A and B are shown apart, each in its own frame.
Chain A
Amino acid sequence: MSIKSGDRVSCSYAGSELEGFFITERDGKAVIKLDSGYNVGIDAGLMKKLETQAPKPPVPVKIEQDESLPPLSIVSTGGTIASKIDYRTGAVTSQFEADDIMRAIPGLAGIGRFSAKVPATILSENMTPAIWKELASTVYSEIRNGARGVIVTHGTDTMAYSAAALSFMIDTPVPIVFVGSQRSADRPSSDNVMNGLCSAAAAVSDLGEVSVVMHATTSDDYCAIHRGTRVRKMHTSRRDAFASIGTDILGTVDYPSLDVKLSGFAARRRDAEPSLDDRLDEKVGIMYFYPGMSPAVVESFKGYSGLVIMGTGLGHTSSECIPAVRSLVRDGTQVVMTSQCLNGRVCDRVYDTGRDLLNAGVIEGGDLLPEAAMVKLMWVLGNESDPGKAAELMQTDLRGELGRCTPHGL
């Protein structure tokens, strides 16, 4: 007799008859939920199936949308912000409708009239440039179809890459707001509600660019609006993991008032059509230099269209690696230098090694963040075949990713 998740089971254990609902089998142990609510693991062989069945979860109520509110779009790629784990199977539910997220985040219904799109349901570490393209075209159509703002729910691990990718691929007149949560949505303390509401407030605001909206501090007090090309996840688990690097934040969303304050340099909402340019050259890599690194590591990127090096300090590799870099460039790979320091600007004109790297054909990446540099290089190489022009584009600020001057005090 096979026992399925949700079946009522009993077993003789510890001198009494235990009853509960069968949840799953793991390593030969049946996990059962006792009537006290506790789960325990007991030999699967001891289980007897009973007739009673688990109560069906109540059917959720349909959410009423307020037609007078601005149309907003929620584009989901997965991630924890509105996901629900099926504890019986351990799987993340894939169904996703506007209703689900509006139920998960009460309060959204008062900000906009939502439609939902699901181009992907993945963990963000499984994100690919191919999905970026799909995401870009989905967001683009939503804006074309009248969305006053788009909220992209995304796992936090690679959110900064995707935000940078959309920054380059879409020229947007309305806010495209990436949002996620660091603590899963199934816990009472999750940051999903505050982040979700703040992202919706940013999506109806006067902003006009791609941004990331996440907790600014460990408290539930306000969210920071980060520029999509300047943001980085700087902590593995804290709510305020996201930080703008080399620039100020674009603004803040206060909680629970949801007041949005934008800084002077944030791009504003425009009355224009969006444009989509989603060509990417995916053959671009990123390499973290370390002391004693073998030139063979550099050589392994042979055949790549582009390579972003995360060099030391002002932007260096060891002298030993420079010949390998030179031959990569000679073979047609665009090599862009960024810094492991993350803060500050690359300058290969100070030390001999730097000058040798410039001679080898390396392009200085200015104050580009390494990940933003990689995404930008994919996009530039996807759109520009002339190496000289591509190099020039890499050193030109296109989406706020490059600063002319490095601000002090950061």
Chain B
Amino acid sequence: MDYEKIGLMAGIEIHQQLDTAEKLFCHCPTRLRDVDERCGEFRRYLRATESEMGEIDRAAEEEMKKQDRIYTYYAYDSTCLVENDEEPPAPLNAEALELSLTLAKMMGMTPVQQVHMMRKLVIDGSNTSGFQRTGLVALNGKLPSGARIESICLEEEAAQRVEGDTFSLDRLGIPLAEITTGPDMRTPEEVKEVAAYIGMLLRSTGKVKRGLGTIRQDVNISIRDGARVEIKGVQDLGLIDEVVRREAQRQQNLIDIAAELKKREAAVGEEIIEVTDLFKDTESAILKRAKCILALCLKGFGGLVGKEIQPGRRLGSEMSDYAKKCGVGGLFHTDELPAYGVSGDEVRLLKERFSAGDEDCVILVADTRKKAECATGQIRKRAMMAFEGVPEETRKMLEEGSSAYMRPLPGAARMYPETDVLPVDISEEYWESLELPELITDREKRFATELGLDESLAKQMAYSSKSPLFEEAVLKGIKPNLAARTLLSTLRELSREGADVESIPGRDLIFLLLAVEEGKAAKEAVPEILREVAGGVSVSDAIEKIAPSISEDELVSLIRKLLDERKDFVREQGMRAVGPVMGVVMKEVRGRVDGKIISEILKKEIKYMISS
């Protein structure tokens, strides 16, 4: 696709969990829990409230369609009344504010003079209060690539959905930095590059959470004659360009459909007809079971409702998403029928009711009357939008990179002040005093040039969360290569074997590597020693157990004994005997001595033996 020709514009919002000691508005730890560890649960309703300007946000209003929804929350011994929405928030977490300002400074932004926390209305249940607290911290920065950073906000993380309308409160309140770029990206690849660069900046602080779900990208995409669409929850950076590609494709197809509808002089039928009787003997389980089946006719939509607009998605899927807001399971449309147990006769009778032809499409919804009525209203609404092309929407990413409708784009009416948190002044002195961390890319270069790590090892080490430990080890005199290989490959291999390497303290790793450097333990024995340490043995005991130290005298007499036993072989082979005998010695000392030392002694002794 020629993205310049279709006028692709894209921007991203990156939400990154910050690795602070406490949550943003209470003193609970930022630790995730297993739902089985919950110690309490409670249930609440939420409803949309008016903003300070007296309006109800359209996104919140949409959520209210799902009436009488009660949300269940799981509480833990590591969560408190603030997460339960039973206590006013504590003052803004200073560590989180400092971290977000540090990020702002790294991107050349200007801080606001006074941070005001806002309440962003979110009534899908993921926030016990019905809003997410968020504050604008800094404005207008730029990346080396030229991409503009519009703003950075400090927000609280939402509760984690366990399933359905049940949420877990351990995640609620973890600080999040929200970084918003300008709509400056013009190709899917560019979006991916910018996202990767910002990800690198975030990790350079060493104070962000790592692992699945700790960073989420929302992508804002539009094409010429399309509309701004926000796709939420791209967790995998590897898919972000595909998401952009598929959205551009979807918008282009919707624009084409709009043109086709106009050409056909299509129309959304006013009539909603109950057709429950038509399906009383149907083979379709869903329709047979339904209390009420309503149908409407989209004149001139034939073939277009079933047209694929992005992989796995049709215009019918979009209508179905809107209908689902009323609690129905989905819809049937005649573009895809007969199928799913609906017979050709039934389709013919259905179309006859509307005097519909091949160029028309009839849509069916089956549920209780109330839900079905709500759903037909939503379907008509979405069908009307098809004439305009692309509706402004918030969408959620599906697997593989397509997306489904979530709600309308929220407006400014969803924000109102968090009156329980005092504004925080950001003084110039404080801003000046903030120190910037070394960028991972700079660290990578330093590891390669100054410490002599090869390119790929330098990169791995620079991005690793173990890089501070690595630097400490090198400072203490451990060879960079030994430190890097141990911290990266050895630990990873042990972890794959099932050893609990995370439990090994950094000081034990350094102690062991120093022992290797001093010749007290062999490099070869490192994995085995660490396996013992991971199993709970102290590092000095593990060295003693796996590789009890062996004195040079003992080693020499051992080698002499082994050579004596192979006298004929050695005399015959001469110095060529070093290799084979080396293997035997190594087996005997089992990692207690470094191979280099053994090899030196062995050569000396063999030389002596053949010369004598």
Q: A residues bordering B, Cβ < 8 Å?
A: 13-16, 18, 26, 29, 31, 33-43, 54-55, 57-58, 85-88, 182-190, 193-194, 217-221, 236-239, 256
Nearest A residue to B111 via CB reads A14
Which of B44, B50, B118 lies in contact with A39, CB distance below 8 A? B118
Contact B45–A220 (Cβ < 8 Å): yes
**B151, chain A: closest CB distance, angstroms:** 8
| A31-B114, A218-B86 known, 14 other contacts, Cβ within 8 Å | A14-B110, A36-B151, A36-B412, A37-B411, A38-B153, A40-B136, A42-B114, A87-B419, A185-B49, A187-B49, A187-B130, A189-B130, A221-B43, A237-B87
Contact A40–B129 (Cβ < 8 Å): no
Question: Which residues 58-92 of B sit at the A interface, judged by CB distance below 8 A?
Answer: 60, 68, 70, 81, 84-88
Contact sample, A vs B, 27 pairs, CB 8 Å cutoff: A14-B110, A15-B110, A15-B140, A16-B140, A29-B423, A36-B412, A37-B414, A41-B116, A42-B114, A43-B113, A57-B54, A87-B417, A186-B49, A187-B129, A187-B131, A188-B48, A188-B121, A188-B131, A190-B49, A193-B45, A193-B47, A217-B42, A219-B42, A221-B43, A236-B87, A238-B87, A256-B68
With A87-B417, A221-B43 already in contact, the answer to whether A189 and B114 are too (CB < 8 A) is: no
CA distance A279 to B81 in the complex (A): 42
The A interface is mostly helix, strand or loop, or mixed, namely: loop
Residues of chain A lying within 8 A (CB to CB) of residue B45: 193-194, 220, 256
Interface status of B1 (Cβ within 8 A of chain A): no
Nearest A residue to B153 via CB reads A38
With A38-B135, A187-B130 already in contact, the answer to whether A219 and B43 are too (CB < 8 A) is: yes
Contact B53–A54 (Cβ < 8 Å): yes
Interface status of B52 (Cβ within 8 A of chain A): yes
Contact A41–B140 (Cβ < 8 Å): no
Contact B114–A87 (Cβ < 8 Å): no
Residues of chain B lying within 8 A (CB to CB) of residue A35: 412
Contact B88–A237 (Cβ < 8 Å): yes
With A37-B118, A57-B54 already in contact, the answer to whether A188 and B414 are too (CB < 8 A) is: no
Question: Which residues 112-158 of B sit at the A interface, judged by CB distance below 8 A?
Answer: 112-116, 118-121, 123, 128-131, 134-136, 138-140, 151, 153
B149-169 vs A, Cβ < 8 Å mask (1 yes, 0 no): 001010000000000000000
CA distance A40 to B111 in the complex (A): 10
Residues of chain A lying within 8 A (CB to CB) of residue B109: 14
CA distance A221 to B41 in the complex (A): 13
Contact B136–A188 (Cβ < 8 Å): no
Residues of chain B lying within 8 A (CB to CB) of residue A220: 43-45, 70
Interface status of B10 (Cβ within 8 A of chain A): no
**B419, chain A: closest CB distance, angstroms:** 7
Residues of chain B lying within 8 A (CB to CB) of residue A34: 136
Residues of chain A lying within 8 A (CB to CB) of residue B68: 256
Which of A86, A238, A256 lies in contact with B86, CB distance below 8 A? A238
Contact B140–A14 (Cβ < 8 Å): yes
Interface status of B46 (Cβ within 8 A of chain A): yes
Interface status of B413 (Cβ within 8 A of chain A): yes
The 3 closest A-B pairs by CB, nearest first: A188-B130, A41-B114, A57-B54
With A14-B139, A37-B412 already in contact, the answer to whether A85 and B419 are too (CB < 8 A) is: yes
CA distance A58 to B43 in the complex (A): 33
CA distance A219 to B85 in the complex (A): 11
Nearest A residue to B413 via CB reads A37
Contact B119–A40 (Cβ < 8 Å): no
**B44, chain A: closest CB distance, angstroms:** 5
Interface status of B400 (Cβ within 8 A of chain A): no
**B48, chain A: closest CB distance, angstroms:** 6
**B214, chain A: closest CB distance, angstroms:** 24
Contact A39–B417 (Cβ < 8 Å): yes
Counting chain A CB atoms within 10 Å of each CB, the highest count among B120, B123, B416 belongs to B416
Which of A15, A57, A184, A217 lies in contact with B53, CB distance below 8 A? A57
Interface status of B415 (Cβ within 8 A of chain A): yes
The contact size tier of chain B is 35 or more
Residues of chain B lying within 8 A (CB to CB) of residue A194: 45
Contact B412–A58 (Cβ < 8 Å): no
Interface status of B55 (Cβ within 8 A of chain A): yes
CA distance A193 to B138 in the complex (A): 37
Which of A36, A58, A187, A190 lies in contact with B54, CB distance below 8 A? A58
Contact B136–A38 (Cβ < 8 Å): yes
Q: B residues bordering A, Cβ < 8 Å?
A: 42-50, 52-55, 60, 68, 70, 81, 84-88, 109-110, 112-116, 118-121, 123, 128-131, 134-136, 138-140, 151, 153, 411-417, 419, 423, 425
Residues of chain B lying within 8 A (CB to CB) of residue A18: 139
Contact B116–A31 (Cβ < 8 Å): yes
Which of B85, B113, B120, B135 lies in contact with A42, CB distance below 8 A? B113
Contact B52–A88 (Cβ < 8 Å): yes
CA distance A42 to B114 in the complex (A): 7
Residues of chain B lying within 8 A (CB to CB) of residue A38: 116, 118, 134-136, 153, 415
Residues of chain A lying within 8 A (CB to CB) of residue B135: 38
Residues of chain B lying within 8 A (CB to CB) of residue A218: 42, 84, 86
Residues of chain B lying within 8 A (CB to CB) of residue A58: 54-55
CA distance A36 to B136 in the complex (A): 10
Nearest B residue to A57 via CB reads B54
CA distance A33 to B415 in the complex (A): 10
**A46, chain B: closest CB distance, angstroms:** 9
**A271, chain B: closest CB distance, angstroms:** 37
**A392, chain B: closest CB distance, angstroms:** 43
Which of A86, A188, A217 lies in contact with B46, CB distance below 8 A? A188
CA distance A39 to B42 in the complex (A): 33
Residues of chain A lying within 8 A (CB to CB) of residue B425: 29, 41
**A181, chain B: closest CB distance, angstroms:** 12
Residues of chain A lying within 8 A (CB to CB) of residue B118: 37-39
Residues of chain A lying within 8 A (CB to CB) of residue B52: 85-88
**B154, chain A: closest CB distance, angstroms:** 11
Contact B114–A29 (Cβ < 8 Å): yes
With A188-B131, A239-B86 already in contact, the answer to whether A40 and B112 are too (CB < 8 A) is: yes
Counting chain B CB atoms within 10 Å of each CB, the highest count among A31, A189, A256 belongs to A189
**A338, chain B: closest CB distance, angstroms:** 29
**A389, chain B: closest CB distance, angstroms:** 46
CA distance A185 to B414 in the complex (A): 16
Residues of chain B lying within 8 A (CB to CB) of residue A85: 52, 419
CA distance A13 to B60 in the complex (A): 32
CA distance A182 to B43 in the complex (A): 16
Which of B44, B138, B139 lies in contact with A189, CB distance below 8 A? B44
Contact B423–A41 (Cβ < 8 Å): yes
**B132, chain A: closest CB distance, angstroms:** 11
Residues of chain A lying within 8 A (CB to CB) of residue B134: 38
CA distance A189 to B50 in the complex (A): 13
CA distance A37 to B413 in the complex (A): 7
**B474, chain A: closest CB distance, angstroms:** 40
CA distance A239 to B416 in the complex (A): 23
CA distance A43 to B427 in the complex (A): 12
Residues of chain B lying within 8 A (CB to CB) of residue A186: 49-50, 416
Which of B60, B116, B120, B419 lies in contact with A40, CB distance below 8 A? B116
Contact B54–A188 (Cβ < 8 Å): no
**B459, chain A: closest CB distance, angstroms:** 34
Residues of chain B lying within 8 A (CB to CB) of residue A42: 112-114
Contact A55–B136 (Cβ < 8 Å): no
Residues of chain A lying within 8 A (CB to CB) of residue B412: 33, 35-37
**A29, chain B: closest CB distance, angstroms:** 5
Which of A26, A31, A37, A236 lies in contact with B120, CB distance below 8 A? A37
Residues of chain A lying within 8 A (CB to CB) of residue B116: 31, 38-41
**A25, chain B: closest CB distance, angstroms:** 11
Contact B53–A188 (Cβ < 8 Å): no
**A191, chain B: closest CB distance, angstroms:** 9
Nearest A residue to B123 via CB reads A188
Counting chain A CB atoms within 10 Å of each CB, the highest count among B48, B120, B153, B423 belongs to B423
Contact A41–B112 (Cβ < 8 Å): yes
**A60, chain B: closest CB distance, angstroms:** 8
CA distance A32 to B354 in the complex (A): 55
**B205, chain A: closest CB distance, angstroms:** 22
